[in-house]
């Protein structure tokens, strides 16, 4: 069967014209040139045209719109869902060009969401029963997939400034180390720095050592006394459990606070690693 593809370049098949329409240049039995609404794709209206369209639609915008505040029934939504099943999205596999990305970036710059708008978003999220994963649970299969993926995913993608400083100091001390190694324990995670056992000229480390560079805010430093949230308390608890588990597995764990690292010098780290610092 001969088919015709939409001339906009979306790759989708057009429909056959059922009724003659001289105004639109449609002849019964022939294929349409475009899918509905695709004839204007890639074209841009002038500022003058946009203004005219805006003025013409002023009387049906906002609360004047006949669909304002109304929602489709479940039956209607199911019909739409069935009608779209098997159809390939027009933008599937396509990527924005750098030019488009730059345009979006520029249009978003300087935009400030008002406190009132933020409050509306927050309230809607609390009320909406379908918000995110509310009331839903991942299957065991999905959880296992996520765990496998998380083992190889480095987060954050860029090392923090305090991690970089410790890495640089270790390099000056000629100590071999690895970053973001996955620790296979109950609360599995990627450690900041892992120092393996090593015995070279001037460097003797008899025990596998892990160095954690803890940010004072995110890990609730007791000295800096930052405001504690429910998630910082939870993180604190998990930090303790991870440290305990690692020690039971034969690791030495050194946890360094952000405020310590910022003023740390080479000898300070040397003393921490070789156990000369109490």
The span from the CA of 247 to the CA of 208, in Å, is 10
Average pLDDT over residues 151-162: 76
Q: Which residues contact 23 (CB under 8 A, 6 or more apart)?
A: none
Q: Over 90: is that where the pLDDT of 208 sits?
A: yes
Kindly tell me if the per-residue pLDDT of 156 is higher than 70. Answer: no
In 10 A of CB 189, how many CB atoms? 18
Question: What single DSSP character describes residue 153?
Answer: -
Query: What CATH architecture applies to the domain 161-273?
Result: 3-Layer(aba) Sandwich (3.40)
Segment 150-177 mean pLDDT: 85
Of residues 204 and 129, more confidence is placed in: 204
Parse the chain into domains and list their residue ranges. 1-58, 161-273
Q: What is the pTM of this model?
A: 0.51
What pLDDT sits at residue 278? 46
Residue 96 CB contacts under 8 Å (≥ 6 apart), including other chains: 104
Structure confidence at residue 228 (pLDDT) = 74
pLDDT value for 154? 66
Do 273 and 197 contact (CB within 8 A), yes or no? no
Place of tokens 């009724």: 19
Mean pLDDT of 7-35: 82
**Residue 191 pLDDT > 80, yes or no?**
yes
Region of poorest pLDDT, from 102-116, 137-151, 161-175, 240-254: 137-151
Where do runs of H (alpha helix) occur along the chain? 47-56, 74-84, 98-108, 115-127, 140-152, 161-172, 230-248, 258-263, 266-273
The predicted model gives 51-78 an average pLDDT of 83
Report the mean per-residue pLDDT for the chain: 85
213 pairs with which residues across the strands? 256
- C-alpha 82/C-alpha 90 separation (Å) is 17
- Helix, strand, coil percentages (3-state) for the chain, rounded to 5, are 40, 10, 50
């Amino acid at each position: 069967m001969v088919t015709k593809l939409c001339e906009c370049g979306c790759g989708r098949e057009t429909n056959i014209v059922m009724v003659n329409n001289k105004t639109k240049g449609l002849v019964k039995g022939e294929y349409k040139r475009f899918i509905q609404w695709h004839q204007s794709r890639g074209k841009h209206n002038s500022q003058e045209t946009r203004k005219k369209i805006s003025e013409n639609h002023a009387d049906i915008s906002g609360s004047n719109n006949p669909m304002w505040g109304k929602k489709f029934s479940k039956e209607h939504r199911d019909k739409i869902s069935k009608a779209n099943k098997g159809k390939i999205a027009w933008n599937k596999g396509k990527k924005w060009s750098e030019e488009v990305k730059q345009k979006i970036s520029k249009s978003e710059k300087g935009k400030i969401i008002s406190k009132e708008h933020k409050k509306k978003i927050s309230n809607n999220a609390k009320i909406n029963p379908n918000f995110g994963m509310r009331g839903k649970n991942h299957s065991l299969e999905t959880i296992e997939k996520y765990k496998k993926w998380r083992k190889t995913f480095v987060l954050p993608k860029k090392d923090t400034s305090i991690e970089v400083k410790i890495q640089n100091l270790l390099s000056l001390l000629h100590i071999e180390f690895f970053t973001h190694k996955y620790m296979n324990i109950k609360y599995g995670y990627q450690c900041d720095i892992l120092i393996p056992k090593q015995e070279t000229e001037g460097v003797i480390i008899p025990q596998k050592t892990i160095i954690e560079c803890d940010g004072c805010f995110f890990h609730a430093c007791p000295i800096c006394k930052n405001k504690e949230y429910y998630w910082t308390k939870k993180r604190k608890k998990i930090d303790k459990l991870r440290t305990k588990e690692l020690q039971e597995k034969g690791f030495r764990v050194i946890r360094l606070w952000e405020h310590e690292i910022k003023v740390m010098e080479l000898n300070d780290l040397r003393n921490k690693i070789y156990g000369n610092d109490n």
